[in-house]
A and B are shown apart, each in its own frame.
Chain A
Amino acid sequence: MSASFRRSAVAIAVAAVILALVPLVAGSFMLHVATIAFYYVILAASWNLLAGYTGQFSLAHHAFAAIGAYTSGLMGYHLGTSPWIGIPCGVVLAGLCGLVLGRLVLRMRAIYLAIATWAFAETFHIYLTADYKFTRGELGLSVKSLYGTTDPMPYYFTFLALTVVVLLGLRLLIDSPLGYFMRAIKDDELRARSLGIDTTKVKIAVFAVSSAIAGLAGGFYGHFIVLLSPQMIDFSEMAKIVVMVVIGGFGTFLGPIIGAAPVQVVMTYLQAYGEWNLAVFALIVIVLMRFSMEGLAALFTPLWRRVWKLP
């Protein structure tokens, strides 16, 4: 347990306690929004592990969430299995797909990797729509809810717990030797290899781990929203994840956490404008990018240093 892990753990614990008290004051709509925001925090944080820390700018992260959700959903639909069996299967399948895709894109430079992963995601999207006899395509696949109720309260706590566990796990990973290898690979892969790091193994492992986490989030998310559609793997979902991480701070631990939640909340309230909501949202992003490129996490760095009396 490094000092850095302990500091983050304390901060996460404090935030979790505060968030656990939110249901006392919030209505069920707010809880619903917050639950979805947690889903995006997990996706953004695990994508950040892949893109921000290891430099593998994948654009297939939403596809892995969909793999998790659809695996569990289809098992429930065709075989009648319980979500508690389906979700672990989804996690394993998403991790395996990540392993294979990570292996395929291993030797590619940044831009190729982005294109190839994007093509993977879009192909999966097309498949889900085309094979509607099996996946129900645009008709929508209805799945069982996790707790047999649509009240968001239990899901809120489930997702809060998931988020805490995932974030702590990611922090542990980032502070471990593997985490240092990841950053070394991002900075200069050739140099990392010359220093004796097995870059192949590290890159594939990170791809598999982050995909499995996306599958986990997707699996629970599916049993929370109870209706799956190929919309889940629409490219705008990936664009949302990228935007969340970059607004928060690319390659920082805090970035995806403080980027994802506000973006999701803003987007929910922009829903009132119908089709225009994404236009307004994109305009906000473009203006933000135009004037500040640092990300929100940079604003918190001085505060964080003062709290822990860091140099």
Chain B
Amino acid sequence: MYSTELVVQTFISGIMIGVLYALMALGITFIYSIMRMINWAMGEFYMIGSYLQYMLVAWLLGPDLWWLAIVVSTAGVFVLGLLTQWSLLKPIFKKPPEARDDYATVVTLALLLMLRSLATGIAGPNQFTPGSNLPIVMVGPMPLAGARVAAFVFALVALAAFWAVLRYTWYGLALRAASQSRVGVQTAGIDVLRVDRVAFGIGVALAGLAGALLAPVFLVFPTNGLITTVKGFEIVVIGGLGSIPGALIAGVLLGLIESFGAAFVDSAYQNIYGFALVLLVLVLKPTGLFGERGREA
């Protein structure tokens, strides 16, 4: 039968990848809870994050400064998110709210097409991988790839920073307030469109961070954001839209199911196990495990 060692190793790798998927889900759910819209181009910001990481590591900083490259690429995606909100989404949010959802959907879908084909146009359909000279880490008797461990640790640090910003800064307060009531925030004299901009920036930066961290593991190519985005959306459905603890717990859950499915059932269908979990949750609890119950904006 299967050895305990294999079970433990599968468990650890499931949790490690789950936290990275959770970053993506957190970005989706965070943007939704403030702006009440879904950013369908999330995977494209992931893709940009991974390309930035590759370029910085390969041309500018070298593999030893990978952590600096990750900070810079995340910041780059953050700035790009600010610009996107300012140029494309702000004009929509100035208009009355009825049509907003549909048009936010169309604009982000168009953005998805545009960024993807720009990436193919500029860099070609080639696959890149940023070099990593991180040594193999031993956790007890188990060897783990250095890049994966580094990504996991970095993701935990980023999650802690994200939590601290939300909890202790003025912007965090404004963001939490906006997620409760967009009108209330405005009556308190806060420019809700400015809050939106920061929220969108942070949300896509989380995707960019996931892209940068996973670049050595999942390679860099124009549609590399797709699979992680599917996972992100599955986590959001499982955990409940707008719930931050839901995204984290569901992320780890999905990572575990996927890694056990791949190890003990069939690795070719690794990407489908998550969907089975989604179906199960939908049948049993359609609002997700931690979802708000039918509260409208």
User: Which residues on A are within 8 Å of B, measured CB to CB?
Assistant: 57, 104-112, 114-116, 118-120, 122-123, 126-127, 130-131, 235-236, 239, 242-243, 246, 250, 274-279, 281-283, 285-286, 289-290, 293
Contacts and interface: CB of A to CB of B under 8 A. Distances in A.
Contact of B106 (A118, A122, A246): A246
B113 A281 contact: yes
A276 B117 contact: yes
Given A130-B268, A278-B117, A119 B275 contact: yes
A278 B234 contact: no
B241 A112 contact: yes
Contacts of B116: 236, 278
Given A115-B38, A279-B117, 19 more contacts: A108-B282, A111-B38, A111-B241, A115-B236, A115-B241, A119-B230, A119-B233, A122-B226, A122-B230, A130-B268, A130-B272, A275-B117, A278-B116, A278-B117, A279-B114, A282-B117, A285-B107, A289-B110, A293-B95
26 contacts: A107-B286, A111-B32, A111-B38, A112-B288, A115-B38, A115-B233, A115-B241, A119-B230, A119-B233, A123-B230, A235-B112, A239-B110, A239-B113, A242-B105, A242-B106, A275-B121, A276-B121, A279-B113, A279-B118, A282-B111, A282-B113, A283-B114, A286-B107, A286-B114, A290-B88, A290-B91
A289 B107 contact: yes
B120 to A, nearest CB: 4
A232 to B, nearest CB: 16
B264 interface: no
A120 B106 contact: no
Contacts of B138: none
B278 A119 contact: yes
A209 B116 CA distance: 33
Contacts of B118: 279
Contacts of A281: 113
Contacts of B114: 278-279, 282-283, 286
A185 B157 CA distance: 46
B117 A116 contact: no
Nearest to B268: A130
Give 5 closest A-B pairs by Cβ, nearest first.
A282-B114, A278-B117, A123-B275, A275-B121, A282-B110
B19 interface: no
B38 A114 contact: yes
B272 A123 contact: yes
B107 to A, nearest CB: 5
Interface stretch (B68-76, B96-104, B158-166): B96-104
B269 interface: yes
A279 B113 CA distance: 7
Of A107, A119, A274, A276, the most chain B CB neighbours within 10 A belong to A119
B9 interface: no
**Majority-rule SS of B interface residues:** helix
Interface in B159-210: none
Of B91, B105, B113, the most chain A CB neighbours within 10 A belong to B113
Contacts of B101: 110
Interface of B: 32, 38, 40, 88, 91-92, 95, 99, 101-103, 105-107, 109-114, 116-118, 120-121, 226-227, 230, 233-234, 236-237, 241, 268-269, 271-272, 275, 278-279, 282-283, 286-288, 294
Contacts of B230: 119, 122-123, 126
B106 A105 contact: no
A104 B282 CA distance: 7
Contacts of A115: 38, 233, 236-237, 241
Given A105-B282, A122-B230, A293 B99 contact: yes
Contacts of B278: 116, 119
A236 B241 contact: no
Contacts of B110: 239, 243, 282-283, 285-286, 289
Nearest to A118: B233
A236 B237 CA distance: 22
B203 to A, nearest CB: 15
A12 B32 CA distance: 41
A236 B38 contact: no
B272 A119 contact: no
Nearest to B101: A110
Nearest to B269: A130
Contacts of A126: 227, 230, 271-272
A120 to B, nearest CB: 7
A254 to B, nearest CB: 17
A279 B121 CA distance: 9
B48 to A, nearest CB: 14
A123 B38 CA distance: 20
A274 B122 CA distance: 12
Contacts of B91: 290
Contact of A250 (B38, B102, B269, B286): B102
Contact of A277 (B112, B117, B234, B241): B117
Given A119-B237, A293-B95, A278 B113 contact: yes
Nearest to B105: A242
A107 B285 CA distance: 10
Nearest to B99: A293
Contacts of B38: 111, 114-115
